[in-house]
Amino acid sequence: MGTCYEAEYRYVAMPCRNFNILGHTSVVDPQDGKEKYVLSNFALGGTGTIILIDALTGEGESFELPVGNGAWGIVNWHDEKLVIGTCVEQAYLHVFDLKSRTWAEPLKSFGEEYFWQMTLGSDDKVYGGTYPGCSLMQYDPATHTLKNLGKVSGNEKNLYSRPVWGEAPGYIFVSFGFDTNGLKAYRIEDGIFSDFGEPGATIKEINEQFICTEANGVMAFYHPQTLEPLEAGGLEGRLSPKEVLLRNGQNVSVIKLKSGKLAGFRGQDYFIADAPAAESDCEKPIDIELRKIPAEAPVTEIFALVPDGRGQIWGASGFGQTIFSCNPENGQYWNSSSVSNHGGEVYGMVFVGERLFMSAYAGGDHIVYDPAEEWDQVNNVNPQTLRSVKPDLIRPEGRSVIGPDGAIWTGWSAKYGTYRGGLSRLDPETMEVESWYDPIPEQQVAGVAADGEYVYFTTNGGASGLAFRKDIGCRFGIWKPGEGLVHQVELPEGEQTGYGIAAGNGIVALAVGKEIRLFDVAAKSFGHTIPTQTECNWIVKLDDRKIGAFCGKELLEIDVMTGEASLIAGLPGKIRCATVTESGDIYFSVQTSLYALHKK
């Protein structure tokens, strides 16, 4: 056993609690005849919910799904049922009877992990897209059966079929991607898929008069029955607004209620507002009153951790763009509203002084928050979103560290459908952001570490919207601030790197498959290799000589000078993230729970 730490870890709390609304609709509730605004909530690490909110009184009811984290897809079937498609890991289809408030037996979409947005077809059946099969699914409410209608795209590298549209009689339209992007029209009568629109086009709207697509900023119009092209002839002016502009410049998706009012959500809040007097006024900013969602936020997965140096442990939710703080002495916690206007989650968290610097997916955002100041994210005051690295870079896969120059360095993965990555540097004094695109060609940055001289990073074949590539040589790179990439090592094809990287005392520890490899910076070569029983998914620096390696259900202590390894403690499960305080205490998360391992 490691001699510097207690033999047993300590449970602290389940401090991360947030909503992550992925879909919305409205119903006339058969129980009381009132209109309800319905939110579909995703709870990573938990079970999803649907929330029915009285459009007049604001009173809410919450119902937990039978199984699954939550749903993108939600369809109102004639104010009788809500049809819901879930993600992740297994795509389930759920049906909620509004009158009896009961769930039907869940249906599985075998081989699929995600249901995306769903739609009601002219045949009264519900259709939805999937991941990773890029399929079109059909649900028949009359028989409560689910059918896979086949892969939408002939390109095997396309994994996504989203969104879907059913407004045109006789057809379901499906968007696919992301190796190649395009549209298919599924003819309900004979089950035939056919190409539709220009390559890469997306659908803006379907109504009784036209189908409108857009490709590279150019709109095109088609007849909704014959699918033949139409002359625009002012049709652009007949598009229905799907968003409202808030005073802060943010566009928010809305639906129109039967009362004529608009309903929408923003982060942990929702709103119901008067519609503009004329559609031409929809481009003007409107005032809304954000209201707290009238339900208890569920416990959710902890995705990132960092100590603030003043006794609090901070962290981020696995999905939903919120952060939390926790007092590890008594388990008391606080959860924020959304830190960004974009959906997604915070990956990187670094304190510089009293300010928390964050990097977030999916907007490629750099964010700064001062806990001592009043919260005002709506007006981009606190937290404040700084310069984004989007559109080229969107996911801070490598997380964030403080570099030798005192700046915050972040490793990135590129936009959807692209095997590339990058690095960014944020100066905490000037708030200026610099970025470098694709330092290792066609590989994302997977992990980042730093010492007093260099920034170190690993790369691999991951990408957003594409299959993970294993037919490449992952890299280990050394970056000198002010100069750039000064050294790199290519690993043999098939060897995989990830988050696991830490630096200190002239040695960089890398997790490579079921090994920890120690790289001597001065010698520019690998030295000791430590085999592990399982893959190591996280490494923390314990002191100048030792690291902690999280490998499955074991935490190992490794002397980077000798390569000697010993067991510190057994773990309750595979961790999601970990951090170390100045006093040497280790905090780590397993799904929704926060644990501590105290230094003796």
Segment 9-54, tens digit of pLDDT: 999 999 999 999 999 999 999 999 999 999 999 999 999 999 999 9
Q: pTM for this one?
A: 0.95
Burial class (CB in 10 A: 0-12, 13-18, 19+), 600: exposed
Dihedrals phi, psi of 447, to nearest 5 degrees: -155, 150
Helix%, strand%, coil% for the chain, nearest 5: 0, 50, 45
CA gap 170, 168 in Å, rounded: 6
**Whether the Cβ atoms of residue 524 and residue 508 lie closer than 8 Å to each other:** no
pLDDT of amino acid 7 = 79
Rounded to an integer, the average pLDDT of 65-88 is 96
Average pLDDT over the chain reads: 96
pLDDT of amino acid 3 = 56
Q: Which of 69-73, 160-164, 291-295, 406-410 has the lowest mean pLDDT?
A: 69-73
Per-domain residue ranges for the chain? 19-238
Instruction: Choose the CATH number for 19-238 among 3.30.70.1560, 3.30.70.60, 3.30.920.30, 2.130.10.10.
Output: 2.130.10.10
pLDDT of amino acid 338 = 96
Preceding peptide of 391 cis, ω within 30°: yes
pLDDT of amino acid 62 = 98
Burial class (CB in 10 A: 0-12, 13-18, 19+), 310: exposed
Segment 263-272, tens digit of pLDDT: 999 999 999 9
- The percent of residues in the chain predicted with pLDDT above 90, rounded, is 94
Preceding peptide of 142 cis, ω within 30°: no
Burial class (CB in 10 A: 0-12, 13-18, 19+), 411: buried
Rounded to an integer, the average pLDDT of 399-418 is 98
Rounded to an integer, the average pLDDT of 229-242 is 92
How far, CA to CA in Å, does 6 sit from each of 539, 541, 569, 585?
A: 19, 17, 8, 10
pLDDT of amino acid 277 = 77
Burial class (CB in 10 A: 0-12, 13-18, 19+), 536: buried
Rounded to an integer, the average pLDDT of 314-325 is 98
The candidate with the shortest Cα–Cα distance to 420, out of 436, 439, 443, is 443
Segment 455-471, tens digit of pLDDT: 999 999 999 999 999 99
pLDDT of amino acid 279 = 67
pLDDT above 90: residue 1: no
